[in-house]
Copies of this chain bind each other. A is one copy, B any other.
């Protein structure tokens, strides 16, 4: 029933390749099917003005799409003079989600910026950015710990995200672009590795939904996050 032939609760093939750029303190290319996002972590010994002197660290994120990551070419945001509303919304979500898995006292007064740049898009880029962004963050933190700059691990649980939705009347896991553009309900579910919830966003895109349907999507999302966390751990261990 799904355009890709996947089962209702089947994710796309996930791969996470680490060490893909030589300059960043942590990096990976995450591929969820045909969605490919390059995630890099930049470590700086400074924090934003509003927490200067607090002893707390900060994790923030930026998001972008290459102009031809999409079926038809998008205008480059640098030429239109600003980031669009969708971009701002997504990068705020990525930063907020990753911070939920960080002990900011343990991190100490330093900032880690996660850049998520979509090389190829086929649905689910914000979720892939969070999942891959956590791997880049993990690698940058490992570097800090190896260097003896911090002693207590500020990352207690992995953070991962997956989209679920109601497509053709059925709850499905990990929407690809053909599904996403037709789904009646579309949700993003961000969790810790232990399934505690960080953020839930569920929008009616044409049909409203019941609490029952909401719970079915949450069940699927828990399954998906479990698989993503395994992929994150494998990638980090192999790095």
By a beta-carbon cutoff of 8 Å, the part of chain A in contact with chain B is 21-24, 27, 34, 38, 40, 42, 44, 62, 64, 66-71, 73, 76-79, 81-83, 85, 87-89, 92, 96, 100, 113, 115, 117, 119-121, 191-192, 196-204, 208-211, 214, 218
Q: Is the CB of A203 within 8 A of B208?
A: no
Q: Is the CB of B21 within 8 A of A68?
A: yes
Partner among B22, B42, B71, B218 whose Cβ is within 8 Å of the Cβ of A23:
B71
A145–B239 alpha-carbon span in the complex (Å)? 44
Q: Is the CB of B203 within 8 A of A202?
A: no
What does DSSP make chain A's interface, helix, strand, loop or mixed? mixed
Q: Which residues of B contact A66 (CB under 8 A)?
A: 38, 40, 64, 115, 117
A12 to chain B, nearest CB (A): 14
Assembly of this chain: how many copies?
6
Q: Is the CB of A85 within 8 A of B82?
A: no
Please, could you name 25 A-B residue pairs with CB atoms under 8 Å apart, sorted by A? A23-B68, A23-B69, A23-B71, A23-B120, A24-B68, A27-B68, A40-B67, A44-B73, A62-B67, A66-B115, A67-B113, A73-B113, A73-B115, A78-B83, A89-B89, A96-B203, A100-B208, A196-B209, A196-B210, A197-B204, A197-B208, A198-B208, A200-B200, A200-B201, A200-B214
Q: Which residues of B contact A201 (CB under 8 A)?
A: 199-201
Complex A-B, nearest 9 residue pairs according to Cβ-Cβ distance, in ascending order: A77-B78, A196-B208, A85-B88, A40-B68, A42-B73, A24-B68, A200-B202, A78-B78, A198-B204
Q: Is the CB of A76 within 8 A of B62?
A: yes
A18–B201 alpha-carbon span in the complex (Å)? 32
A202–B198 alpha-carbon span in the complex (Å)? 8
A209–B200 alpha-carbon span in the complex (Å)? 10
Q: Is the CB of A68 within 8 A of B82?
A: no
Q: Is the CB of B218 within 8 A of A197?
A: no
Q: Is the CB of B218 within 8 A of A100?
A: no
Partner among B70, B82, B199 whose Cβ is within 8 Å of the Cβ of A81:
B82
Partner among B64, B197, B214, B218 whose Cβ is within 8 Å of the Cβ of A76:
B64
Q: Which residues of B contact A24 (CB under 8 A)?
A: 68
A103–B177 alpha-carbon span in the complex (Å)? 26
A114 to chain B, nearest CB (A): 10
